[in-house]
Structure 1
Amino acid sequence: MPSGGSGGYGDLVTSARPGRPEDVSQSVPKVLRVSAALSWRLVAVAAAVWLISWIVGYLAVVIIPVAIALLMSALLAPAVAQLVRWRLPRGLATAIVVVGGIALVVGVLYGVINAFIGGLPDLQKQVAGSVKAIQTWLAGPPLRVSTDQLTGFTNQIVKLIQDNQLTITTSALSTAATLTEVLTGVLLVLFTTIFFLHDGGGIWSFLIKIIPADVRPRVDVAGRRGFASLVRYVRATAAVAVVDALGIGIGIGIVGVPLAVPLAALVFLGAFIPIVGAVIAGTVAVLVALVAKGFVSALIVLAIVIAVMQLESHILQPLLLGRAVQLHPLAVVLMIAAGFTFGGIAGALMSVPILAVLNSGIRSLLHDQGVDPSEVDPTRPPKVEPGHGK
C-alpha cells in the first residue's frame, strides 16, 4: 500500500474524533452561537454599568458637586473666554465672572425670599377663606358632612402628628444633617467651578495623558466637542427656563395667585430638567391657585401652564435645544427616567447633559479625523461643515 494511503486514512480518523473544540463549535447552530456570544457580552456590559453606578452612588457627595460645577463652568466659560479675548488676565477674568455670578444669584434669592415673606400673609388669609368655603361645600348637598365629623377628622390628624412626634423630630435632625451636607456641597461646587474656569484646559490635558499617544489627538478633539455641546445645552436650557418662568410667572401674577415670584423661580429651576421639570413646577402653581383662589383660577393657571409648555415643546425646544444637542425627544425622556431611577433628582438633572456630551463626543470620534485640537474652541459656536453631524 502506498505510504500516502495510511496518512489519508489517519487524517480521516482524526477529523472524525469527537471532542475537538472546532468540531463542537461547528455542530452548534449559528443562531445559538451568536446568541451566546451576545449574551455574555451583555452580561459584561450590565456588570460594568452596575459597578459604575455603585461607585457613583458611593462617591455621590463628591461626584454630584463636581458635575454641577461642570455645568456651571459650561454656563460661565464663554464669559471668561470673552474677557480673556479682551486681554484680561485669566485669573482676573475668572474672578470677575464668579463674583458677578454669585452676586446675581444672591440678588435673585433675596428678591424671591422677600416676595415669599411678603406674600405669605395674603396666602394664609386666602387659604383660610378657601378652607371655610370647602367646609361650607362639604356641609351642603350632596355630601352633608356635619361639623362634628369635620372636627373629629381634624382631631385625628392632630393625634397622628402627636403620636409620630419622635419620627418627625428625627426627620428634622436628619434634615439638619442634610443641610450641612448641602452647604459643604455648595462650597465644593464653588471651588471646583473656579478651578475649572481658571485652568480647565490644563486639567483636561492632564486627564488625557492616560490615552495612548496614537489616538490622543482624536480623543482631545472629541472631548472639546463634547464640552462645546455641553456649553450649547446649558445656554439653550437657561434661555428656555427664562421664557417658561416669565410666561407662567406673569400669567399667575395677572390671575392674582399669591407667591407669583417664588413660583416663577421654581419654574425656572425646574426647567433645567427638560420636559419633566417645568411640568412639575407648573403643577405646583396650579395647586397653589386651587387652594388660594379656587377652582376657576386653577383652571386658568392650568391653561397658562399648558400654553407655555406648548410654546416650549413646539418652538423653543426645536429651535434651541434641538440645534444645541441634536437629541430625539424620546431619547431625552428615556434618559431622564433612567437618571431619576439611578440617581433621583440629581440623576434626572445630569442625565441629558451626559447624553449630549456622549452624543457629540462619539460623533466627533467617528467623523472628526485629522482635526487639530488647537483649532477647536469649546466656548465658540462650531463651524458647521457639509454633511457633518448627519
Structure 2
Amino acid sequence: MPASLSPTKTAAALRTSARVSLDLLLVVLAASVCLWLLGRMWSVVWPLVVGLFLTTLAWPPARFLRRRGCPPALAASVVTVAFLLVVSGIVTLIAVPVASQSGELADGAVSGIQRIREWAAGPPLNIADEQITDGFDQAVARIQDSVDSVLTAVVSGVSTVVNGLVTAVLALFLMFFFLKDGPRFLPWLARQLPGRLATDVPVVAERSWQTLGAFVRSQAFVGLLDAVLIGIGLWVLKVPLVLPLAVLTFVSAFVPIVGALFAGLVAVLIALVSNGLTDALIVLAIIVVVQQLEGNVFQPMIQSRGLGLHAAVVLLAVTLGGSLAGIVGSLLAVPAAALIAVVWNYVREQLREPESDESPAGAAVPS
C-alpha cells in the first residue's frame, strides 16, 4: 500500500505556504501603493526623471571641468549653456536645410500626389476623378460636422505641447542643480537616514546612478548606429536632406516605438516626393530592416551588456512597459528593470551567508 501523507508535515507545509502568500500579498500591496503615489505626483516625477537622464549625458564634461579645478557652479553653468547650444545646433541643422529646400519639396509633393491620382485612376483600381472629388468632399463634410471634436483635439495637443515645454524647462533647471550639487547628495542623504539605512541607501543610489548612465549611453549608441545606417542608405539613393534626416533618426531613438515610426515616415515621404515611388519603397525597406536589427539584435545585446540584463529581459521589459504605460512605459521599462536588478543584487549580497574561513571538522588541511 502506498504510504499516507503525514498530517504534521502537511499542516506545516500549508502554514508555510500561507505565510509566504501573505508576505507576497503585502509586497504587492506596498508596490501598488508606491505606483499610485508616483502616478499622483507624476507632474513632479517626470521632470525629475528627464533631468536625471540629461544629467547622465552632461555629467562627464562637468566632471572633467571639476577635476581641472573649475568651481562646481561654474562647471555646471558652462555645461548647461553648452548643452543648450548643442540642442539649438541640432534644431538648426534640421530646420535650415528643410527651409532652404521647402519649395522643391512642395513641388515634389504636388507631383507625387498627382502620380498617386494617376495610378489610382488606372487598373486595377480604376478610380475616376469624380470619385476622388466626392471622397474629398465627404471627408471635408465629416470634418465640418465634427468641429467640436477637432477643437478638443487641438486644445489637447496645445496643452500637451505646453506641458512638454514646462517639463523641459524644469528638467533643464534640475540638470543644472544635479551637476552643481550632485556629489554632495549622497553624503547629505547618509546624514539624514538612521541606522543601517545610512549605509545601504547611498550604496544602492550610487549603483543606480551608474546603471542609469549605462542605459543612456547605450541608447545613444543605438541611435547613432540607426542614424549612420539609414543615412548611408538615403545618401546612396540621393534622397535630399540626408543630414537632417540622420539627425532626426538619432534624436528619435530616445523615444521608443513612436520616435522610430515618426523618423521613418518623414524619410519615406521625402523620398516619395523627391525621388518617386520606387526609391520610397527602397527607403521603407531599409528603415524596416534597420529597425528590426535594432529592436531584436543591437539594442538587446548592447543594453544587456551595459545594464547586466539578459537580452530576453530587455525585450520583455519593453513589451510590458508599453502595454502598461504606453510610450512613457516603453521609455522607462529598461532602466526600471535595471534598477530593480540593482536593488535585488544588493539585497542578495546582504542576505548571503558569510563564508567561513575555518575548515570542517576532520578535513585534511593542506600543508
TM-score > 0.5 by shorter chain: yes
Measure the CA separation in 2 of the matches of 1:30 and 1:139: 79
1:1-390 correspondence to structure 2 within 5 Å = 32-209=14-191, 211-273=193-255, 276=257, 279-281=260-262, 283-285=264-266, 287-288=268-269, 291-292=272-273, 293-309=275-291, 312=294, 316-317=298-299, 320-367=302-349
Deviations 1:245-303 (A, max 9, x none): 232134224424455444333321332256x4665346424642574344422332134
Contact 2:252–2:263 under 8 Å retained in 1: no
Measure the CA separation in 1 of the matches of 2:48 and 2:123: 58
Distance 1:31 1:297, change over 3 A: farther
Unpaired runs of 5+ in structure 1?
1-24, 370-390
Deviations 1:333-357 (A, max 9, x none): 2222333344332232222122223
User: Match of 2:208, as an amino acid?
Assistant: G
Q: Which runs of 4+ in 1 moved over 6 A?
A: none
Deviations 1:15-35 (A, max 9, x none): xxxxxxxxxx95965665455
Measure the CA separation in 2 of the matches of 1:308 and 1:362: 34
Unpaired runs of 5+ in structure 2?
1-6, 352-367
Aligned residues: 344
Identity %: 31
Q: CA deviation at 1:317?
A: 4.1
Contact 1:65–1:185 under 8 Å retained in 2: yes
Contact 1:289–1:297 under 8 Å retained in 2: no
Structure of greater relative contact order (alpha carbons < 8 Å, 6+ residues apart): 1
- Compare 296-305 and 161-170 and name the one that shifted more: 296-305
- Compare 28-37 and 245-254 and name the one that shifted more: 28-37
User: Match of 2:261, as an amino acid?
Assistant: I
Q: CA deviation at 1:214?
A: 2.8
Contact 1:240–1:312 under 8 Å retained in 2: yes
Q: CA deviation at 1:203?
A: 2.6
Match of 1:373 in 2: none
Contact 2:47–2:168 under 8 Å retained in 1: yes
Taking only aligned residues, the RMSD between alpha carbons, in angstroms, comes to 3.1
User: Normalising by structure 2, what TM-score?
Assistant: 0.81
Contact 1:240–1:271 under 8 Å retained in 2: yes
SS at match of 1:213: coil
